[in-house]
């Protein structure tokens, strides 16, 4: 199943794509910068809406153009100074999440607290490629788990993510499904744009131009004091299951 975090993003307009060549040229100037990651065979999930481009090859260029990851802002940030990702490289000095998920009560308030912790771990993964914290908040069969595998592979291949940070707002009560032994709660997701930069020059640029799919149900499990995200469903998907 393709990750919900990838499929619920709309395609950027054609006009926006005019800036891709300039962005890739800027990325290519970082070839002498450090921090290039090792290659990985991890493949990205299929996309239903994406925009891609490749670096133009000159006669002397190699058959496989690459974008070398450098420093955001075109320089190494001082220790402790947060710097967001851009065309030059990934975010720097991102605040680290808590090392282990906390135990919270089996109540709405407990769920809110877990979700707050998870969003920090989730956005940390997007900005750094380190998904070890975020994995602990989701089950292995959840779409979110697949998304983290993609992000992890992207950074291992030498790519990175620009923007794409998420925030969430609960919009309904916590509901328990006795038959499935699972909770659900309606949430609204807030995001604007995201760009996935591949080391071979491929770009996947998306913008939230259609907000009709930004509201959906998160599914949750609860065991031994720990909440976990077990996936997500739209209202239509839930109705079709009945």
Give the sheet arrangement for strand 160-163, strand by strand.
10-11, 203-207, 193-197, 160-163
pLDDT at 175: 97
pLDDT of residue 232: 95
Mean of all residue pLDDT scores within the chain? 80
At 148, is the pLDDT very low, low, confident or very high (cuts 50, 70, 90)? very high
- The reported pLDDT for the residue numbered 55 is 39
CATH number at residue 130: 3.10.450
Residue 140: inside a domain, yes or no? yes
Higher pLDDT, 34 or 227: 227
| Band of residue 242 on the pLDDT scale cut at 50, 70, 90 | confident
In a domain, 43, yes or no: no
Domain carrying residue 112: 4-35+70-76+88-241
Whether residue 137 is contained in a domain is answered as: yes
How does residue 6 score in pLDDT terms, banded at 50, 70 and 90?
low
Kindly state whether residue 48 falls inside one of the protein's structural domains. Answer: no
pTM comes to 0.78
Q: At what angle do helices 108-128 and 143-156 cross, to 10 degrees?
A: 20
50-109 pLDDT per residue, tens: 444 443 333 334 445 577 899 999 999 999 999 999 999 999 999 999 999 999 999 999
The rounded distance, in Å, linking the Cα atoms of 145 and 230 is 9
Q: Would 47 be classed as within a structural domain?
A: no
- For residue 241, the model assigns a pLDDT of 85
* β pairing state of 215-223 and 226-233: antiparallel
Could you report the per-residue pLDDT of 69-82, keeping only the tens digit for each? Answer: 999 999 999 999 99
Q: Would 57 be classed as within a structural domain?
A: no
Would you place residue 49 in the very low, low, confident or very high pLDDT band (cuts 50, 70, 90)?
very low
50 within a domain of the structure (yes/no): no
Closest CA to 221 of 187, 183, 185: 183
The structural domain count of the chain equals 1
């Amino acid at each position: 199943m393709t990750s919900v975090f990838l499929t619920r993003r709309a395609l950027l307009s054609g006009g926006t794509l005019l800036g891709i060549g300039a962005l890739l040229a800027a990325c290519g100037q970082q070839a002498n910068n450090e921090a290039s990651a090792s290659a990985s065979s991890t493949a990205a999930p299929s996309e239903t809406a994406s925009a891609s481009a490749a670096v133009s090859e000159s006669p002397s260029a190699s058959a496989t153009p690459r974008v070398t990851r450098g420093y955001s802002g075109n320089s190494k940030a001082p220790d402790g100074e947060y710097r967001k990702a851009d065309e030059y490289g990934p975010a720097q000095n991102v605040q680290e999440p808590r090392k282990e998920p906390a135990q919270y009560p089996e109540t709405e308030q407990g769920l809110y607290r877990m979700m707050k912790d998870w969003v920090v771990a989730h956005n940390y993964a997007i900005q750094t490629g380190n998904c070890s914290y975020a994995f602990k908040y989701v089950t292995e069969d959840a779409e979110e788990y697949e998304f983290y595998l993609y992000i992890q592979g992207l950074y291992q291949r030498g790519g990175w993510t620009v923007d794409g940070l998420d925030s969430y707002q609960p919009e309904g009560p916590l509901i328990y499904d006795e038959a499935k032994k699972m909770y659900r709660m309606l949430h609204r997701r807030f995001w604007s744009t995201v760009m996935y930069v591949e080391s071979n020059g491929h770009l996947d640029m998306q913008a939230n131009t259609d907000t009709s799919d930004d509201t959906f149900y998160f599914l949750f499990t609860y065991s031994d004091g720990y909440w976990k995200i077990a996936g997500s469903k739209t209202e239509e998907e839930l109705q079709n299951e009945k």
